[in-house]
């Protein structure tokens, strides 16, 4: 259940799907952005909506596909801050969103992020020009830094996922453990890296068209 926390009162899963379907039914390509802190459930919500609408009506393009490669993070000395705004190719993400808004007649290929490898994988997600709705999800869609601020103007709607904080932290620790960290290292990473990023992401909450709570 995804209760809305915005002016519309409580908005549940069926309402969110209906909102997305309305975007998909418009005459031109639309982009729905789903923002929120690490571990909020953004990718889960995006996948739920895309599954409900079907592949001919919606496709998910994650911002995480624009993570810098681990080798580049090491070169820049940013590996210990992976997930911070400057550990992504924000310019590349903006270019992709602009292409997706006006795809012409050709398939646009977007990158994905492989959590088992902790690396972006280019050309992984085909976006057919006939698909009316692109759902993009990521932490910094509503961030106000100069290199990220233009993202908002490319979204037809922006939602912010605001989960229970203790649940969000547990999800993050569990995620890091699943992908190879021991529990102590996972908790340390969440406190050192994910927590500051979450505070930064929360600054953009007021820019969302809808705030959605997850449980």
- 73-106 tens-digit pLDDT: 999 999 988 999 999 999 999 999 999 999 888 9
Q: According to the model, what pLDDT value does residue 103 have?
A: 84
The pTM for the full model equals 0.88
Residue 157 domain-assigned (yes or no)? yes
**pLDDT tens per residue, range 17-75:** 999 999 999 989 999 999 999 888 899 999 999 999 999 999 999 999 999 999 999 99
Residue 1 forms part of a structural domain: no
Query: Is residue 215 in a domain?
Result: no
User: Dihedral (C-alpha) 12, 13, 15, 16: value to the nearest 10 degrees?
Assistant: 120
- Does residue 169 fall inside a structural domain? yes
8 part of a folded domain = no
17 against 196, higher pLDDT: 17
Structural domain includes residue 6 = no
- Range with lowest mean pLDDT among 13-17, 68-72, 153-157, 176-180: 176-180
Structural domain harbouring 39: 13-209
Arithmetic mean of pLDDT, 7-21: 77
pLDDT at 4: 45
Q: What is the CATH number of the domain that holds 140?
A: 3.40.50.300
Is the residue at 2 inside a domain? no
Per-residue confidence at 204, pLDDT binned at 50, 70, 90? very high
Q: How confident is the model over 116-134, as pLDDT tens digits?
A: 888 999 999 999 999 999 9
Percent pLDDT > 70 in the chain is 94
| 5 falls within a domain | no
* pLDDT category of residue 136 using cuts at 50, 70 and 90: very high
pLDDT of residue 5: 41
Going by pLDDT thresholds of 50, 70 and 90, the confidence category of residue 215 is low
Domain count, the chain: 1
């Amino acid at each position: 259940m995804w209760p809305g926390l915005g002016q519309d009162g409580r908005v549940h899963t069926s309402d969110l799907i209906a909102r997305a379907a309305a975007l998909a039914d418009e005459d031109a390509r639309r982009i729905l952005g789903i923002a929120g802190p690490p571990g909020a459930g953004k990718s889960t919500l995006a996948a739920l909506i895309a599954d409900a609408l079907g592949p001919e009506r919606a496709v998910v393009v994650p911002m995480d596909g624009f993570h810098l490669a681990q080798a580049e993070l090491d070169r820049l000395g940013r590996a210990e801050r992976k997930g911070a705004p400057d550990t992504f190719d924000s310019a590349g993400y903006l270019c992709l969103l602009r292409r997706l808004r006006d795809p012409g007649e050709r398939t646009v290929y977007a990158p994905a992020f492989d959590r088992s490898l902790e690396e972006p994988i280019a050309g992984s997600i085909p976006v057919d020009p006939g698909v009316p709705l692109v759902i993009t999800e990521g932490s910094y869609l509503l961030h106000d830094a100069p290199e990220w601020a233009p993202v908002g103007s490319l979204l037809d709607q922006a939602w912010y996922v605001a989960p229970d904080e203790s649940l969000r932290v547990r999800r993050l620790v569990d995620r890091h453990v699943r992908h190879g960290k021991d529990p102590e290292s996972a908790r340390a990473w969440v406190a050192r890296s994910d927590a500051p990023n979450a505070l930064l992401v929360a600054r953009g909450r007021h820019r969302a068209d809808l705030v959605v709570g997850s449980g």
